[in-house]
Chain A
């Protein structure tokens, strides 16, 4: 099971590599594609990109570590991004962060033990008028209180439970 899904992912990425590999400035879009496919940037991908683009691996590592978007480790199923922007800060982002940390027993940039969530912070989600805000995967939640974010997290857990 696991191996076949990995094969599919590898094939998907190889296709991207064939499509963009020779284009100038392709490194970042390729890394973004890899992360979308694998949910993080695996080591092999870096050597594959290096081979295709003739850019040394060290430079590609330089790029990976420079941008906040890229991760070198696998992540949980859902990524929670707690906004730490100005509006959210003024309206209580710290309490929201604390509530998530306590509720899931996880620290920033870590995964929960059940592998369900990864906790991150972001500079600003651009939903400042609804601050404090949190983004889970591609969904944004606004006007949060510690209570409401706990409820939202529970609903994700519940959904997962039902799927099982």
Chain B
């Protein structure tokens, strides 16, 4: 029997995996090869930049992954590899024998992503075959709840949702809170723009999250749980629903789990599109059916959470680590990483790098190792400028500090934060003032409006940044930004406001020159801010095709056919249309 797997997470499907899948299905059907070929859907292995991916596995254990597969290539792979056992060399992206994209995997250590892209996420047996639900069994029958918490504490696992709070400690607080009824919530809101770790895990290995939640529920004494997923992730919701119903059917969820006295049931709540709902107290309000407003803590959810009952909230990735820790032992987990940051961390790599996708690395690896050794360096041979970590709560780490190791405390020293794991790599063509403005406009829009400094302060900061990018910056703008940042940080109620100024502060700290160029020279060095760039036609390249003149929405381009054209910079609105349509790349920015 040969197995053919197609990567069908959202990333794969949006790259065209469904067409490939349907074609393979047709081929197997036409030739009636069901007894010889097994077709399987799988999740995301992390090689998003090579999607759609097709893997062929033979009985002798040989496995080959093909990338950027379309219908034609799928037919070729089927004809040669699946039927005749001949590898299609020119389409191979990885063959597990350290060929192809081996670099991508060589420095990774996969705990959370252990099954992603390998198993069929819609088949509970696939998960069980990989040792799934044995950790639950071990926890239920070999450990007391206290011992489970002890194990998690010793492992050194810290919350992967951003803050990095010790998971064992959090569980202990919930366990110690008086009350019969308790809840466990999985935070799958994944609000950070530029992050997709949680989506990938939910779509590729949903049972690992359920198993982690079950173990947590047993440890803290909860009988009910919720998974709060953002509505923008329809595929993750679908797979979670299936996983819950399969797990219930097999007796892993429900009453008397595995014939023990432990009961636990799970519900899915769909988010409704508000970033602040990722914050614990806001998330709880949202599940209760209210506006998702954060409230003052204490009391912490561990004491008074959902419907006023003790509630333990963890992130998707935190839960996915748990079964591995119980199975392999806390000490094995703690042997990886740095002194205070143990285990591994998943990162969503995106931006101007060669290989964007999902990776998992041991803590302690440096950012440079991730960018150059794993992600293949910067696209098109450009230079690294900065890495944005921690989303809107984080900051930009400049290239010269990219030797910083992946470690909660080390990253905080730069002014950024580990955050949930979005890593956006920026090259010289990224304007840092524009990036700061981007994040500020995000937090400004997402502020729930409860505290004045968060609501109005971010608005004032955004106005200043907008002015600077439009060439109307003033001398006092920089001190004003500092002053507002200080006040917003100290006077806001929840993490959203407290961290909102961070992207501005880190860019001011490391890229002050760029701010000054905008304010004093009215120039955008990265040539991004429309008001500060001038479009020019290179007379040596222009062939007078007249396309740009026809497409210019304001009639700013003049010139006769077959003659060099010119842009009137007085009239030009810097929309960039001419540059987009020029067949000879004769338009450039100045």
Q: Which positions in A face B, CB cutoff 8 Å?
A: 24-29, 31-32, 55, 59, 62-63, 66-70, 81, 84-87, 89-91, 95, 98, 122-131, 133, 135, 138-143, 146
Contact A29 B270 (CB under 8 A): yes
Partner of A90, one of B196, B287, B352, B446: B352
**In the bound complex, what is the Cα–Cα distance between A154 and B131 (angstroms)?**
48
**In the bound complex, what is the Cα–Cα distance between A69 and B272 (angstroms)?**
5
27 residue pairs from A and B, CB less than 8 Å apart: A25-B288, A29-B270, A31-B272, A32-B272, A66-B274, A66-B448, A67-B274, A69-B273, A70-B272, A85-B194, A86-B351, A86-B388, A90-B352, A90-B435, A91-B351, A124-B195, A125-B10, A126-B10, A127-B14, A127-B196, A128-B196, A128-B348, A128-B424, A129-B196, A138-B234, A141-B14, A142-B14
List B contacts of A55 (CB < 8 A): 289
List A contacts of B289 (CB < 8 A): 24-28, 55, 63
Partner of B422, one of A84, A89, A128: A128
Contact B351 A130 (CB under 8 A): no
Which chain B residue shows the least CB distance to A32? B270
Contact B430 A90 (CB under 8 A): yes
**In the bound complex, what is the Cα–Cα distance between A28 and B162 (angstroms)?**
26
Contact B193 A124 (CB under 8 A): yes
Beyond known contacts A29-B269, A62-B291: 17 more, CB 8 A cutoff:
A25-B289, A31-B272, A32-B231, A66-B274, A86-B351, A86-B422, A87-B424, A90-B351, A90-B424, A123-B193, A123-B273, A124-B196, A126-B195, A128-B422, A129-B350, A129-B357, A139-B14
Contact A28 B351 (CB under 8 A): no
**In the bound complex, what is the Cα–Cα distance between A98 and B576 (angstroms)?**
11
Contact A129 B48 (CB under 8 A): yes
Does B168 reach chain A (CB closer than 8 Å)? Answer: no
Contact A129 B273 (CB under 8 A): no
**In the bound complex, what is the Cα–Cα distance between A127 and B356 (angstroms)?**
10
List A contacts of B358 (CB < 8 A): 129
Does B53 reach chain A (CB closer than 8 Å)? Answer: no
List A contacts of B348 (CB < 8 A): 128-129
Task: Please judge, given known A-B contacts A84-B193, A125-B232, A129-B356, whether A68 and B424 are in contact too, CB under 8 Å.
Answer: no
Total number of B residues with any Cβ neighbor in A under 8 Å = 58
Does B511 reach chain A (CB closer than 8 Å)? Answer: no
**In the bound complex, what is the Cα–Cα distance between A26 and B269 (angstroms)?**
10
Partner of B291, one of A63, A125, A146: A63
Interface string of B507-539 (1 = CB under 8 A from A): 000000000000000000000000000000000
- Judged by DSSP, the binding face of A is mixed
**In the bound complex, what is the Cα–Cα distance between A133 and B446 (angstroms)?**
21
In angstroms, how far is the closest chain A Cβ from the Cβ of B467? 18
Contact B426 A90 (CB under 8 A): yes
Contact B422 A68 (CB under 8 A): no
Contact B196 A28 (CB under 8 A): no
**In the bound complex, what is the Cα–Cα distance between A47 and B85 (angstroms)?**
65
In angstroms, how far is the closest chain A Cβ from the Cβ of B27? 24
Partner of B194, one of A29, A86, A139: A86
List A contacts of B191 (CB < 8 A): 123
List B contacts of A135 (CB < 8 A): 232
List B contacts of A126 (CB < 8 A): 10, 190, 195-196, 199, 232-233
**In the bound complex, what is the Cα–Cα distance between A31 and B291 (angstroms)?**
13
Contact A127 B11 (CB under 8 A): yes
Which chain A residue shows the least CB distance to B14? A140
**In the bound complex, what is the Cα–Cα distance between A138 and B13 (angstroms)?**
11
List B contacts of A67 (CB < 8 A): 272-274, 292
In angstroms, how far is the closest chain B Cβ from the Cβ of A93? 10
**In the bound complex, what is the Cα–Cα distance between A141 and B51 (angstroms)?**
12
Interface residues of B in 10-41 (CB under 8 A from A): 10-11, 13-15
List A contacts of B349 (CB < 8 A): 129
**In the bound complex, what is the Cα–Cα distance between A44 and B234 (angstroms)?**
27
In angstroms, how far is the closest chain B Cβ from the Cβ of A61? 10
Interface string of B181-218 (1 = CB under 8 A from A): 00000000011111110010000000000000000000
Contact B232 A122 (CB under 8 A): yes
In angstroms, how far is the closest chain A Cβ from the Cβ of B533? 13
Q: Which among B10, B13, B48 has the highest number of chain A CB atoms within 10 Å?
A: B10
**In the bound complex, what is the Cα–Cα distance between A25 and B287 (angstroms)?**
6
Closest 7 CB pairs of A and B: A129-B48, A85-B193, A68-B273, A86-B194, A67-B272, A87-B350, A140-B14
**In the bound complex, what is the Cα–Cα distance between A66 and B277 (angstroms)?**
11
Which chain B residue shows the least CB distance to A85? B193
**In the bound complex, what is the Cα–Cα distance between A55 and B442 (angstroms)?**
31
Q: Which among B191, B271, B273, B575 has the highest number of chain A CB atoms within 10 Å?
A: B273
In angstroms, how far is the closest chain A Cβ from the Cβ of B213? 19
Interface residues of B in 551-566 (CB under 8 A from A): none
Which chain A residue shows the least CB distance to B388? A86
In angstroms, how far is the closest chain B Cβ from the Cβ of A52? 12
